[in-house]
Amino acid sequence: MTAVGTAAVGTAVAGTGAAATGWRNVETPTENSLYDVEDTIKTEYTVGGGGIVLERTADGWRKVLDGGPTGNGNDLYGSGVTDDGERLWFVGASGAIGEYDVTTGNLNDGDAPPSEGPV
């Protein structure tokens, strides 16, 4: 896996304060390319090829999603976090869009309407 901006195999950028302290390489549990990193109220998250979403923990990075919001494996290229820091949004190939609640672990596929009954 190549982390964008580092050109190092098997690595990702190291979360908060990377701009102030410079980039550094860290091991990740994927061979996929990683394209974006966001900081939430819980921790840092990164998204990448094959629809992978990784979460930074005290023990390193761990996989929280493999295959994207629909499970079809579309690459994820961008991510953003809500103002309250509780929800991570990500977007990618073929219109992939999803929302991950970092406090509850709930995943919503942004491609599908909410299943709250008839409108």
pLDDT category, 115, cuts 50, 70, 90?
low
Which amino acid appears at position 75 of this protein? D
- Structural domain contains residue 117: no
Supply the pLDDT for residue 67. Answer: 94
In a domain, 38, yes or no: yes
pLDDT at 53: 98
Number of domains in the chain: 1
Please write the tens of the pLDDT for every residue from 1-33.
444 443 333 445 544 444 566 778 889 999 999
Q: Is 13 inside a domain boundary?
A: no
Give the pLDDT confidence of 28-69 residue by residue, as tens digits.
Answer: 999 999 999 999 999 999 999 999 999 999 999 999 999 999
Domain housing 81: 33-109
Q: Does 60 map to a domain?
A: yes
Which residues, including other chains, have CB under 8 Å from residue 10's CB and lie 6 or more apart?
A: 1, 27, 28, 31
